[in-house]
Structure 1
Amino acid sequence: MVESARESRFQIQGMDCASCAQKIESAVRRIPGVENVAISVMNSSMTVEHSAGIHLEPEITKQVTRLGYRIQPPAQGHTLTREEIHGNEASHEGHSHASHAPTEGKWWHRPAVRLTLASGLAFLVAYAVAALAPQYEFWLYATAMLVGLIPIARRAFAGAITGTPFSIETLMTVAAVGALFLGAVEEAAVVIFLFLVGELLEGVAADRSRASIRGLADLVPKIARVERDGGLQEIAADRLAVGDTILVRPGDRIAADGTVVSGESSVNEAPVTGESIPKAKEAGDPVFAGTINGDAVLRIRVTATAEDNTIARVIKLVEEAQEKKAPTERFINRFSRYYTPGVMVLAALVACLPPLLGGAAWSEWIYKGLAILLIGCPCALVISTPAAIAAALAAGARRGLLMKGGAVLEGFGQLQAIAFDKTGTLTEGKPTVTDIVAFGEDQSEVLRLAAGLERGSSHPLATAILKRAEQEGISIPESADSTALSGKGVTAFIEGRKVLLGSAKAIDERQPLSEEQRRKIEVLYDEGKTVSVLLADDRILGAIAMRDEPRGDARAALTRLKAEGIRTVMLTGDNRRTAEAVARSLGIEARAELLPADKSRIVEGLRAQGLKVGKVGDGINDAPALAAADIGIAMGGGTDVALETADAAILHGRMNDIAAMVELSRRAMANIRQNISIAIGLKALFFITTIAGVTGLWPAILADTGATVLVTANAMRLLGWRPRS
């Protein structure tokens, strides 16, 4: 029997961009026995799939180390089968998912800092000594240059023999050695130092991007107070199990996702949702790990383990998403593979053609050719897109907006139509009492008797009536001999009176409705409401109308989407009358009485019209349409099927978050366009000035280093993004 392939995970430090990941992947893939390599820049990790029964750790470590990166092997050399990796994403020994994220420590602890400082110090020493002993100037600056160049050249050679011959290190090495032979040794030393500064700044920016999302893990307290054996025990929060009951004091952070068992308090959800106003919580309400309890003690039943809570899911999804490249990023990566060799050819032509064809001085044009090599470094161009995408995905995740990859982020800004489910998406997902119509008694008496009939029932309509009675402070009477009439209603004796609450049709069979009563009930039906009529001792007392009401922000969100030029349509399996009533109140096109296959067919029809289509839903019946859409969006609290099928998820169920995702996408794409313009624009400018003889080697490296810094800083602005109100 053939053993299945094995997977080993490694942590890699110093890997700060897609170019780094590409070099490492190319090198590791060349090792005999390696079947596949998956690298996460965001998580600084590499998963190697290899043949079972062979030990590749030393060879992998050697390949990665020779490229200039530090690698940590799997804990105790542990390898997992593919089934273990994918079937149990929970971390070992009960630690949270985020606890395995690698850290570089403080930025000044990075090896790149020591190398940059050494190079800078060597240059300063060379400058100072050369001022006193000019005859040794060449050797002093050459030595200073070699302090930084030797590690760079070593990485260039390692890349060349492991599948990446045209790397940034190769360009730098050729340019520096060429400058050395031309006697421009002082400039060569400056160029090497500036290059190292640029690499260092790129690494610091990458660390900041990682920290922005990993910082979420720090929101969850490390200790929880759990009820055990009739008392309270303090245990590690990552050891909580589903079903445990925890006690959260005022001012404490909540240690796990859960449901309030007892207590009433306000909870500050800003750390997770960004909402500044605390939310009132009472028994039955959900709470999230990392949020802050306000006024009073809450007892909370845990509904998700540390590996599965809201914050852990956010971190995991964002880390996975950042490895899924957007079309723009894929294009830039493909372009850069041809761009770097092209730059080397162009530099060679600049260096050779004028002397060969026009008799120009070789030293002058070789110098310019070397400057072209530096100007052409692809760093800024390569990082322009992934830096912006990483920052945008992290900014969205901090506000509960999860997008599964750069392609999804880019696609949101291109949406031309969005189809919405009704129940639980456009509406609250639970009925609410909207009207109390009195025929024979006042409204409060109608509500009081109806609540008495429904006392103890968990039916959604009964819950709506009981909640309305509680809101109005009505004392609910006791009932006796309560009986459910199949499909018709419920009857019981209350205070000696036989009371029946049922459909208008069921009541009409017992006690005919008057024309006025029929007219009022018909108006309620036309508004898409469910109507129950109250009968007491053969006397019609009134009617109660209920409807699953639109979310408070639904109309404003749809208006905002329309203002962005996006068509909106509601798809629902509900009856046509109810659907049209809700659609009228929201100003949206409606398609009703649909099966799951019908929803999918309508989405495909919109796509057939040439539209980029999004689909928003929260249930199993939405899964086919979510999969059929260009972008499927699952609402918070949705089923696992919807969340898995969707391309994006709105964790906190706010309709305005749909428009916020579109806004974030368009901001990110604008940022990417700015970055590409900066990268190419600076290169074009310095190319012209170099050919004209205005600028030389060290300004040329500023064209690359400066562009890289500007591009990274511009991308990091997205970390501070906040959706418009």
Structure 2
Amino acid sequence: MEEYRIKGLSCAHCAAEIEKKIRSLEHGESATLNYNTGKLKIDEKVDLKQVEKILSEDGAFIEKTQAHHHEHEHSHHQGVNLKFLLIVSTALYFIAFFLEKQTNSFLVIGLYLIAMVISGYQTFLKGLKNLVKLKFNIDTLMTVALIGAISIGEWKEATVVAILFGLNEYLEGIGMEKARKSMEKLLEVAPKQATVLKDGIEKVVPIESLQVGDIVLVKPGEKIPSDGVVMEGKSSVNEAAITGESLPVEKESGETVFGGSINNEGILKIEITKSYEDSSLAKILHLVEEAQETKTPTELFINRFAKYYTPLIMIVAVLVMVVPPLFFGAEWNKWFYQGLAVLIVGCPCALILSSPIAIVSGITRNARNGILVKGGVFLEQLGKINTIAFDKTGTLTKGEPHVEKVTVYIDDQDEFYRIIGSIEKNSSHPLAKAIMKKVVETEVALHDPEEIETVSGQGIIALIQGKRYWVGNEKSISHLQITEKVKADIEKMKEEGLTLVLLADERQVMGLVGISDEIREESKSLIKALHQAGIQHTVMLTGDHQKTAEKVARKVGVTEYYANLLPEDKVEKVKELALKGKVAMIGDGINDAPALATADLGIAMGKGTDSAIETADIVLMQDHLGKLPSAIRTAKKVNRIIKLNISLALGLKLLALLLTIPGLLTLWIAILSDMGATILVTLISLTILWENKEHNVIN
């Protein structure tokens, strides 16, 4: 499939019509034209000249993917020309209006006609073609209405309608272009080239030519070209393009970096671990672009509704023209005019536009904050969620052991830390690493054990300065008689859901270390913020035992929790919760894949990990959930705005139609009802792009 960017699309309905025409071409069956992104995808066998001809009929054109300056100029001038033509036609209208009572009618009619042609010639041409084919769309309705108005001598009103319709299409195009430009700005974060080091020589190459294993040099202020590992250098890196986090992250040798991140100060030598198309940034940008191309249930409904709405309006217009004169002896001219006005009310522009700008704005705003929503359908779903299920480890907790409690039974506390640190310092066990973090804080000097032996299922026996020590679980101290005090402390720590590590010598237990999975600092405030954002139920699902789960649930404030769950049990729990409402499941995208897939909405967090990006419907690119409440608020706002837009679009039209009952509907009121709705719908949708920094993140 070939992909082209299309400029000059005036409305979503027009884009759908163009797509239909292109699909009728040879090999064009699979063609798609998306109004939201302005992208056309066609089979390479399709005759491009025929496609360009179809596009030109609607005032659109192809901007080649290798977009050069002159092409942007072309797009710019086209917008300026349309604006210029509208200004000229408006000026001619006012000249004719003021000359109407002072000069002959032929000059005035001529000026009105010129103004009408200048502002609406494209609409007339398309409308006349459609009339010949008996195809009724917006252009056909407008053309019939204008011909009808001219036929009964309403030159002034016909000109106003032509100018206002041209202005309406111009403003409609500007609104969608604003949303698209906001998205394009987001996509500009992709680096264009890289400085590769080969045999000590620096060479600037295009980003696409980078290969795994290449060594690149990234100077201060430059973008990191693709995912990789720092080989040399130390610097702070701005990862906002990936995570949405504005605070820089310190990087040094051995640490991973993401493509698209900006190197702040030092020079970094980086080994590329992924070609650009496989990098986190490329996947993010691809997902964001794809997200705009999916239609939500609301959009699909609106499109189906618009399909039947226009013919229905035409029937109503004919009835308005015919029924009062035939059955009530009313004046033909007056009701023919009213019928023409009803035709104009039939333009579904504002209705069709009520959803796409809001959806694109919502996806863009969340993407700016490092929240990837994989489609409008998921954004809509996020705004309807009332229950969130959390996996405990790595989401509400940090997913790494942390020393929470230490009880020492010997007089010299430093000696306790010295011995346990000397034994654990060479161990790679996660519990040993947690203990060593605590030992390092005490700054005690450590010994090298003369002997060290690992006992499976128990712990370690070590000989230090001729004395034997045991470190491990309760089984490791089976050689000792334990005092009641120690027994009571062990039971207490167990009740608190802590994992125990004991240190003993040949005579006594020297101390206990209680280890837990550290709760994230932001978890409590996050749960509170979610409840404030309209989430009624927060549920924690974990494979840990009851005591640990109870302790975490109590500290963070979730409404309910379930412990001792296997992956398949989590799936069943999610199904149970789904019976009571709309459920989102949050996990790391690896262990929780089945539960993520089962929920109405799967949300993964993972700072760009492949599995997280591929598994879930929504991906939080940070390694915390702080921006989730903001994402939910944005989704709810999008849903609210779409409902408001539909109400405005239909409400203004209904008001205009009701004016036909007393015979007060005029052509210009009819077009203003549609134009007013279009402007309101566009402006209201664009408010989604405005950031509210105050509520953006939970720290």
TM-score w.r.t. the length of structure 1 is: 0.86
User: For residues 403 and 206 of structure 2, what CA distance do their matches in structure 1 show?
Assistant: 44
User: For residues 101 and 683 of structure 1, what CA distance do their matches in structure 2 show?
Assistant: 43
User: For residues 626 and 431 of structure 1, what CA distance do their matches in structure 2 show?
Assistant: 25
Match of 1:554 in 2: 523
3-state SS of 1:336 partner: helix
> Structure 2 vs 1, CA of residues 251 and 59 (structure 1 numbering), >3 Å: closer, same or farther?
closer
Match of 2:112 in 1: 141
Report the AA paired with residue 167 of structure 2. V
Post-superposition shift, 1:641? 4.2
Report the AA paired with residue 17 of structure 2. K
> What does 1:348-367 correspond to in 2, within 5 Å?
348-367=318-337
> Structure 2 vs 1, CA of residues 387 and 519 (structure 1 numbering), >3 Å: closer, same or farther?
same
On the 8 A contact 2:11/2:349 being kept in 1, the answer is: no
> What does 1:571-586 correspond to in 2, within 5 Å?
571-586=541-556
3-state SS of 1:458 partner: coil
Post-superposition shift, 1:271? 5.3
> What does 1:325-340 correspond to in 2, within 5 Å?
325-340=295-310
On the 8 A contact 1:67/1:159 being kept in 2, the answer is: no
Match of 1:535 in 2: 504
2:558 paired with 1:591: no
On the 8 A contact 2:9/2:59 being kept in 1, the answer is: no
Post-superposition shift, 1:619? 3.9
Report the AA paired with residue 568 of structure 1. T
2:404 paired with 1:437: no
Post-superposition shift, 1:712? 0.5
> What does 1:223-302 correspond to in 2, within 5 Å?
223-230=193-200, 234-244=204-214, 246-260=216-230, 265-270=235-240, 272-281=242-251, 286-294=256-264, 296-298=266-268, 300-302=270-272
User: For residues 541 and 571 of structure 1, what CA distance do their matches in structure 2 show?
Assistant: 36
From 155, 158, 161, the counterpart of 2:126: 155
Match of 1:462 in 2: 432
User: For residues 337 and 225 of structure 2, what CA distance do their matches in structure 1 show?
Assistant: 62
> Structure 2 vs 1, CA of residues 110 and 385 (structure 1 numbering), >3 Å: closer, same or farther?
farther
Match of 2:487 in 1: 518
> What does 1:658-677 correspond to in 2, within 5 Å?
658-677=628-647
User: For residues 227 and 458 of structure 1, what CA distance do their matches in structure 2 show?
Assistant: 35
From 18, 30, 40, the counterpart of 2:24: 30
User: For residues 249 and 512 of structure 1, what CA distance do their matches in structure 2 show?
Assistant: 64
Post-superposition shift, 1:378? 0.8
> Structure 2 vs 1, CA of residues 47 and 532 (structure 1 numbering), >3 Å: closer, same or farther?
same
On the 8 A contact 1:446/1:543 being kept in 2, the answer is: no
For residues 243-299 of structure 1, give each alpha carbon's deviation from its aligned partner in whole angstroms, at most 9, with x where no partner exists: 555554555544444455566554444555444544455556554444444465555
Gaps of 5+ in 2: none
> Structure 2 vs 1, CA of residues 397 and 229 (structure 1 numbering), >3 Å: closer, same or farther?
same
2:8 paired with 1:39: no
For residues 552-597 of structure 1, give each alpha carbon's deviation from its aligned partner in whole angstroms, at most 9, with x where no partner exists: 2122222233342421222222333333332232233222222222
On the 8 A contact 2:10/2:172 being kept in 1, the answer is: yes
User: For residues 413 and 141 of structure 2, what CA distance do their matches in structure 1 show?
Assistant: 83
For residues 345-380 of structure 1, give each alpha carbon's deviation from its aligned partner in whole angstroms, at most 9, with x where no partner exists: 222222222222223222222222222222331111
For residues 67-90 of structure 1, give each alpha carbon's deviation from its aligned partner in whole angstroms, at most 9, with x where no partner exists: 4321368x8xxxxxxxxxxxxxxx
Runs of 4+ in 1 over 6 A off after TM superposition: 99-104
From 680, 683, 689, the counterpart of 1:713: 683
From 61, 70, 73, the counterpart of 1:70: 61
User: For residues 315 and 342 of structure 2, what CA distance do their matches in structure 1 show?
Assistant: 10
Match of 1:114 in 2: 81
For residues 704-724 of structure 1, give each alpha carbon's deviation from its aligned partner in whole angstroms, at most 9, with x where no partner exists: 122211111110000114445
2:514 paired with 1:545: yes
Match of 2:176 in 1: 206
For residues 39-89 of structure 1, give each alpha carbon's deviation from its aligned partner in whole angstroms, at most 9, with x where no partner exists: 333332222359xxx65444444434434321368x8xxxxxxxxxxxxxx
From 5, 12, 29, the counterpart of 1:11: 5
User: For residues 586 and 630 of structure 1, what CA distance do their matches in structure 2 show?
Assistant: 24
Deviates more, 1:580-589 or 1:710-719: 580-589
Post-superposition shift, 1:443? 4.2
What percent of counterpart residues are identical? 39
User: For residues 298 and 601 of structure 1, what CA distance do their matches in structure 2 show?
Assistant: 48
> Structure 2 vs 1, CA of residues 592 and 276 (structure 1 numbering), >3 Å: closer, same or farther?
same
> Structure 2 vs 1, CA of residues 638 and 465 (structure 1 numbering), >3 Å: closer, same or farther?
farther
User: For residues 222 and 453 of structure 2, what CA distance do their matches in structure 1 show?
Assistant: 46
> Structure 2 vs 1, CA of residues 535 and 283 (structure 1 numbering), >3 Å: closer, same or farther?
farther
On the 8 A contact 2:589/2:616 being kept in 1, the answer is: no
User: For residues 470 and 587 of structure 2, what CA distance do their matches in structure 1 show?
Assistant: 37
Report the AA paired with residue 613 of structure 2. L
Post-superposition shift, 1:342? 1.4
TM-score w.r.t. the length of structure 2 is: 0.89
For residues 206-237 of structure 1, give each alpha carbon's deviation from its aligned partner in whole angstroms, at most 9, with x where no partner exists: 22212212212333444445554356555445
User: For residues 508 and 30 of structure 2, what CA distance do their matches in structure 1 show?
Assistant: 77
> Structure 2 vs 1, CA of residues 445 and 303 (structure 1 numbering), >3 Å: closer, same or farther?
farther
User: For residues 217 and 525 of structure 1, what CA distance do their matches in structure 2 show?
Assistant: 51
User: For residues 494 and 67 of structure 2, what CA distance do their matches in structure 1 show?
Assistant: 57
Match of 1:21 in 2: 15
Deviates more, 1:555-564 or 1:614-623: 555-564
2:311 paired with 1:341: yes
Gaps of 5+ in 1: 1-6, 76-98
On the 8 A contact 1:220/1:254 being kept in 2, the answer is: no
2:154 paired with 1:184: yes
User: For residues 537 and 365 of structure 2, what CA distance do their matches in structure 1 show?
Assistant: 26
Report the AA paired with residue 25 of structure 2. I
3-state SS of 1:510 partner: coil
Deviates more, 1:142-151 or 1:11-20: 11-20
3-state SS of 2:31 partner: strand
Post-superposition shift, 1:417? 1.9
3-state SS of 2:277 partner: coil
From 254, 279, 283, the counterpart of 1:313: 283
> Structure 2 vs 1, CA of residues 475 and 341 (structure 1 numbering), >3 Å: closer, same or farther?
farther
Deviates more, 1:348-357 or 1:291-300: 291-300
> What does 1:491-510 correspond to in 2, within 5 Å?
491-494=461-464, 497-506=467-476, 508-510=477-479
> Structure 2 vs 1, CA of residues 220 and 28 (structure 1 numbering), >3 Å: closer, same or farther?
closer
Post-superposition shift, 1:392? 0.8
3-state SS of 1:71 partner: strand
From 167, 176, 181, the counterpart of 2:137: 167
Match of 1:4 in 2: none
On the 8 A contact 1:67/1:158 being kept in 2, the answer is: no
On the 8 A contact 1:213/1:398 being kept in 2, the answer is: no
> Structure 2 vs 1, CA of residues 249 and 446 (structure 1 numbering), >3 Å: closer, same or farther?
farther
On the 8 A contact 2:211/2:275 being kept in 1, the answer is: yes
On the 8 A contact 1:571/1:594 being kept in 2, the answer is: yes
User: For residues 115 and 436 of structure 1, what CA distance do their matches in structure 2 show?
Assistant: 76
Q: CA RMSD in A?
A: 3.3
Report the AA paired with residue 659 of structure 1. P
3-state SS of 2:59 partner: coil
3-state SS of 1:574 partner: coil
Deviates more, 1:119-128 or 1:183-192: 119-128
For residues 400-459 of structure 1, give each alpha carbon's deviation from its aligned partner in whole angstroms, at most 9, with x where no partner exists: 122222222122222232211111122112112222322225444433433333334433
Report the AA paired with residue 72 of structure 2. G
> Structure 2 vs 1, CA of residues 660 and 194 (structure 1 numbering), >3 Å: closer, same or farther?
same
User: For residues 161 and 429 of structure 1, what CA distance do their matches in structure 2 show?
Assistant: 69
Match of 1:407 in 2: 377
On the 8 A contact 1:113/1:200 being kept in 2, the answer is: no
Post-superposition shift, 1:479? 4.5
Report the AA paired with residue 146 of structure 1. V
